[in-house]
Amino acid sequence: MERTLLLIKPDAVQRGLMGVIISRVEQRGLRMIGMKLMRVSRTLAETHYSIHQGKPFYDKLIGYITSAPVVAIAWQGNRAVAVVRQVLGATDPTAASPGTVRGDYGIDIGRNLTHGSDSIENGQAEVKLWFTADELLDWERIGEEWVFET
């Protein structure tokens, strides 16, 4: 089944938005299979954002993500990657629709509160990068048949 990585970035943790962000995804019906509050090392930040290396915003992005604790969450479920991206909204909060996390709580692109994996392959890879196998739990939420048709 699809897996995806959600990061609640330092600004969202500092602003007390952990709960509302988790709730939005949880209520959508995805199954949380791993979660941890952690400080991001420079090495992990650079690996995670390697695709953006050399871009003008790269140094600030690494500084931002390593500046204070983040919450990393692995989610599983049908269409998990697209669902989390939809809940988060567009990268630039002023372009994100109202009703999305970024559209409701964000303003600057460099303080956009969250990260969500952007493809099925990256979802698998990012969950592996951020979690060890024994940090991921195999369980079933009750009533998943009322969320997923198959």
Tell me the three-class secondary structure of 38-95, residue by residue: ECCCHHHHHHHCHHHCCCCCHHHHHHHHCCCCEEEEEEECCCHHHHHHHHHCCCCCCC
One character per residue 105-144, x = contact with Mg ion (rule: CB under 5 A): -------------x--------------------------
* Choices 23-31, 74-82, 105-113, 124-132; region in contact with ligand DAT by CB under 6 A: 105-113
Residue count at the site for ligand DAT (CB under 6 A)? Answer: 9
Specify the pairing of strand 114-116 against strand 31-38.
unpaired
Residues 19-78 that bind ligand DAT (CB under 6 A): 52, 57, 61
One character per residue 117-136, x = contact with ligand DAT (rule: CB under 6 A): -x------------------
3-class DSSP state of 130: helix
Which amino acids are annotated catalytic?
Answer: 115
